[in-house]
A and B are shown apart, each in its own frame.
Chain A
């Protein structure tokens, strides 16, 4: 058991190392663009969305599940918020009432995420559908509801005060990054310090043992999917605030990217292993790659190729490393 964690940590260190190298290479290749405040700032507006979605998927992977619907949740939350911002607020509202409207909108958006996650949790823990299928179905359902509400069109034109969330800075830190840091810190503490977090890991490590030791599996699972849904809702807030529009099928490629990030970050899709910090490093690595390649005028397709290669490369490295570690254990035991 101890060795497993040691491996995870060495995988993490390797990923961090690779991330630094990626950053250095990009900085060396396009120093005039990559190492500018402007680029670093624009990256800090871009990656929090993918980062939050990846952490959402990570939480569900810890129990051996997955949440394919999380982008659908983000979009649905975004659309409910958009409806409030464009339909419910009377003309000429400003000042404190506006602030209240915005808070109410955000609460509704995040609660939509929580409720959608609760539905996922029920389907998985109570009805007994496999997580991939349940969330594949709800992904269609949530996106479908969003399409029905908007008839496929985008909703745009939100209050200026709300757009601050997606486009401004607090003390040199972009607002989305600020939310990202707060949320990841919260999730990190929740996973490592609370009984819910520890139970999540236990269910992913050995489900039967966890159940026999008195963990109420259904409850923990439902909470984990609710948590994922809440993160989806928060992502929805950032997404619509940054783009000033809400669309039913925005960012559909985020699903696979978020899985990619969590696996890169050392999360075991079979459950039990993974840390928030790993996912944070992984999303940074991808952002550096992505921004750097944009500056090198690589097309999106070339990026797709490189991301896939990067994922397989890291997986193979981890595989070799873990096998070597396993061999060493066997030798020692001999």
Chain B
């Protein structure tokens, strides 16, 4: 903990540099084995694949930096996606995508606040609380709201998945574009970065993860900060849910849940310390890129897809292990 600010910065950059280097090295290796990898179509599709995990990861990142852990966000995402789709179809089938996203985000905020009540007011550990709320939310969704896949989504959600730009012609003549979802992801990443860096609440998120008691002594309102964190997680999960069903062109209430540990793994790959106080948005985004790259490119280089889990496991261990060893060395243990 006794690391000066400049040392700390250097270290943080070092980790991001390592992740970036791994991404570049992997890309070169994959590309040299299969040149299809460099095709603009593949790159666009990889970027699109980062969107859902990325939105979830931004929320997870906030929680981890604050020194806690949340595993209910995928259940929140599925809940928001399904309930919003049903509501919109029932009441305002012609609603625009922005309205739909806001409704989903709002439901997400409310669910996030439930987590915040337990974690902040009752001072219970996030892992336990979100284990409880996560299974309640999913159980409620599948018991009381529905298990049927919605095949006909609101038009604006389908239209959203078709919005692309930066159009390029592929070698085979097909014109491909980058999904707008990627822009949404990056825009929120920048927004979270700005909030963390320039607002008092944002600084408090880091402070809370570094030293809770000191944060309270300095005069931060910890309850308010935690409501901000879990509300934001809920909002981002809502967005992720709607975006997911828009990409899939259907609303499946069974989707998303089960991916939470990979999302956390991605954030941690990006250098966020699970004990709180350390980590950067840029790192988290890189972590998502790396995990998506591995998940989607094994097949391209001829590694059967059943190797995926083992490879992901090894990469998590190598990455977290190298960071842990580095920290030990710098602390002279």
**With an 8 A cutoff between CB atoms, is B116 at the interface?**
no
**With an 8 A cutoff between CB atoms, is A185 at the interface?**
no
Q: Say yes or no: A256 contacts B274, CB within 8 Å.
A: no
Q: Say yes or no: B124 contacts A319, CB within 8 Å.
A: yes
A313 to B209, CA, bound (A): 27
A269 to B118, CA, bound (A): 16
Known: A137-B320, A144-B308, A319-B122. A308 touches B275 (CB 8 A): no
> Which stretch (B37-45, B130-138, B197-205) binds chain A?
B130-138
**With an 8 A cutoff between CB atoms, is A316 at the interface?**
yes
Known: A129-B324, A302-B143, A309-B136. A141 touches B314 (CB 8 A): yes
Residues in A with CB closer than 8 Å to B10 are none
**With an 8 A cutoff between CB atoms, is B93 at the interface?**
no
**With an 8 A cutoff between CB atoms, is B127 at the interface?**
yes
A265-308 interface (Cβ within 8 A of B): 269-270, 299, 301-308
| B residues contacting the other copy or chain, number (CB 8 A) | 50
Q: Say yes or no: A299 contacts B118, CB within 8 Å.
A: no
Q: Say yes or no: A144 contacts B307, CB within 8 Å.
A: yes
- Smallest distance from the beta carbon of B258 to chain A beta carbons, Å? 8
- Smallest distance from the beta carbon of A217 to chain B beta carbons, Å? 12
Residues in A with CB closer than 8 Å to B132 are 260, 308-309, 311-312, 315
**With an 8 A cutoff between CB atoms, is A143 at the interface?**
yes
Residues in B with CB closer than 8 Å to A220 are none
Residues in B with CB closer than 8 Å to A231 are none
Q: Say yes or no: A260 contacts B139, CB within 8 Å.
A: no
**Consensus secondary structure, chain B interface:** helix
Q: Say yes or no: A301 contacts B131, CB within 8 Å.
A: no
Residue of A nearest to B310 (CB): A144
**With an 8 A cutoff between CB atoms, is A190 at the interface?**
no
**With an 8 A cutoff between CB atoms, is A128 at the interface?**
yes
Residues in B with CB closer than 8 Å to A299 are 142-143
A182 to B120, CA, bound (A): 41
A6 to B265, CA, bound (A): 38
A302 to B312, CA, bound (A): 33
> Which stretch (A14-22, A41-49, A101-109, A145-153) binds chain B?
A145-153
Residue of A nearest to B265 (CB): A136
**With an 8 A cutoff between CB atoms, is A259 at the interface?**
yes
Q: Say yes or no: B135 contacts A134, CB within 8 Å.
A: no
Residues in B with CB closer than 8 Å to A137 are 265, 313-314, 316-317, 320
- Smallest distance from the beta carbon of B127 to chain A beta carbons, Å? 6
- Smallest distance from the beta carbon of B100 to chain A beta carbons, Å? 25
B252-290 interface (Cβ within 8 A of A): 258, 261, 264-265, 268, 274-275
Q: Say yes or no: A315 contacts B128, CB within 8 Å.
A: yes
Q: Say yes or no: A312 contacts B133, CB within 8 Å.
A: yes
A260 to B143, CA, bound (A): 21
Q: Say yes or no: A260 contacts B131, CB within 8 Å.
A: yes
**With an 8 A cutoff between CB atoms, is B152 at the interface?**
no
Q: Say yes or no: B125 contacts A129, CB within 8 Å.
A: no
Residues in A with CB closer than 8 Å to B311 are 144
Q: Say yes or no: B261 contacts A148, CB within 8 Å.
A: no
Residues in B with CB closer than 8 Å to A309 are 132, 136
**With an 8 A cutoff between CB atoms, is A321 at the interface?**
no
- Smallest distance from the beta carbon of A278 to chain B beta carbons, Å? 15
**With an 8 A cutoff between CB atoms, is B129 at the interface?**
yes
Q: Say yes or no: A269 contacts B128, CB within 8 Å.
A: yes
A147 to B125, CA, bound (A): 33
Q: Say yes or no: A141 contacts B320, CB within 8 Å.
A: no
A80 to B124, CA, bound (A): 40
* Residue contacts A-B, CB under 8 angstroms, 20 given: A123-B317, A127-B321, A130-B324, A134-B320, A137-B317, A139-B261, A140-B265, A140-B309, A140-B313, A141-B310, A144-B312, A144-B313, A259-B127, A302-B143, A308-B134, A308-B139, A312-B136, A315-B118, A319-B122, A319-B124
A residues lining the B interface (CB < 8 Å): 68, 123, 127-130, 132-134, 136-145, 147-148, 151-152, 252, 256, 259-260, 263, 269-270, 299, 301-309, 311-312, 315-316, 319
Q: A123-B321, A143-B309, A308-B132 are in contact. List 6 more A-B contacts (CB 8 A).
A: A128-B324, A133-B265, A133-B316, A301-B141, A303-B139, A308-B134
B residues lining the A interface (CB < 8 Å): 69, 71, 118, 122-125, 127-129, 131-143, 147, 258, 261, 264-265, 268, 274-275, 304, 306-314, 316-317, 320-321, 324-325, 327-328, 333
Top 4 nearest A-B pairs (CB, nearest first) are: A305-B139, A144-B310, A140-B313, A141-B313
